Amino acid sequence: MPATFSLGTSILLLLAAFSSSTIGKDVEDEEKHLRFPPNFLLGAATAAYQIEGAWNVSGKGESTWDRLVHEHPDRIYNGDTGDVAANSYYQYKEDVAILKNLGFKSYRFSVSWPRILPTGFPNKINAEGVQYYHDLIDELKANGIEPMLTLYHWDHPQVLEDMGGWLNEEMANWFGDYARIIFREYGSKVKKFITINEPKAVCKNGYSLGIHAPGKRLPGLGEYMCIHNVLKSHATAYRIYDSEFRSTYQGEVGVLLDVMAYMPQNFEFDAAAETSFQFNVGWTMHPIFSKEGDYPSVMKQLVGNRSKAEGFMQSRLPVFSDYWINLIRSSADFLAVNHYTSRLVVSGTMGEIPSHEHDQGVREVVDSFWKSSASNWLKVVPEGFRYILVQLARNYGNPPIYITENGVSDHGTLNDDDRIYYYREYLKQMLLAIYEDGVDIRGYFLWSLLDNFEWNEGYSERFGIVFVDYEDPKRQRILKKSASWWKEVIAAGKIETN
């Protein structure tokens, strides 16, 4: 058996395989590696259900998250809901003022699908909902802040879920109808759109593990069917923009990837880590960014073999027709990346039978020395950020990348030094990826501007650089120490080493 490297040495050696440059503390702290490139876009991100509130006013329809929190409060920490959340539906001007005060140049937000289409279909377009996002966008632009609009951040209309949601192949048409309305309404004001936030999280948490809305537990089947239809839906929306709106508005439509770094614990497990990468990253990226399209071959082979061994008549991984392979391939103008943490990969098995986890034939582990956060899944591993950025660039032709979420949780403090440490160290690794490895990263959006409803964890975990007092009916906002740190960083155009 090969010698086992210490974690730090292992990661550095793995990075060295990508780059011939010197890697070390002296390189990280060089002035040229601490300054943001010219025209680099710095912004903050939020999501509609997590901050807006106003869940049943102004003509909004019921979303899958509305249904889950109201009918199954036992599935949410403390029975919390997003009914009021940070009250941003009414306090968006205050939020924009905070963005301007801190110096952010862009704001990534999502549109609530049932706020626009309360019936799920374009037979009824909610004028008040449409106007709300016009008002938000106009407020941003009046303050010199560029909007980045996400069409879907996990809150689709419940009526569509009643018809199968992301397990129904008609979702591609339903999402396309919704996307057309969004492009038509906001295309003249918004130049960067993202279709669907974190497909893997949507499908695994919502249709396999059942911990997020709609709360379905269909492991080994649901996650694959869901991703299949999410990819079709993304491509449908992209082609609609391409054929109907691009020539007029000259904007861009990107695809968003939620990804950890999947690093071999040592070089003995290189093949296992590559399999993990293909199952977790290639699953959604290979159909879009590879020359041949379709799912990665290792996925098709392993899921097919396991399905047969389990007695299925055909693979649990759905099959794309040539039509869909061609429609999905090259359906992105940029790659949006949400990254928080990393895993080490070894040979073995994990997960129930059947499941996406078990199909991989690998096991993910964490190092006991990694710093923890308030979220049990989120370990602080800055080196992993550079590792996955380089891997993405090398595997997918170095597309333009925007980091659309990156941040860390705590249980609520204004003196959030751990958050500042996280941002500083992760930003340093991102800048090394730009300057030393040539990764085409064009912007960075922290998660999150505000403390918000953190899905099944309710309000127990806080990611914001702005504290929200949930005991206050007015939802008072208070800048944390990290907000002041960001204001200094943006003003200086660089990060400090201490």
| Tokens, residue 447 | 């998660």
Work out the angle at residue 204's Cα, subtended by the Cα atoms of residues 342 and 367, and round it to the nearest 5 degrees. Answer: 20
Which amino acid type is present at position 31? E
Nearest Cα residue to 48 out of 149, 161, 147, 160 = 149
Q: Is the dihedral of CA 197, 201, 203, 207 positive or negative?
A: negative
Cβ within 8 Å of residue 464, ≥6 positions away: 448, 449, 450, 451, 452, 480
Q: Give the position of tokens 């306090």.
A: 91
- Of 62, 364, 405, 457, which residue is the catalytic one? 405
CA–CA separation, 355 vs 359, rounded Å? Answer: 6
| Catalytic residue status for 292 | no
Centre a 10 Å sphere on the Cβ of residue 337 and count the other Cβ atoms it contains. 22
Dmax (CA) of the chain? 66
Cβ within 8 Å of residue 288, ≥6 positions away: 231, 234, 235, 255, 328, 329, 330, 331, 332
Residues catalogued as catalytic: 405
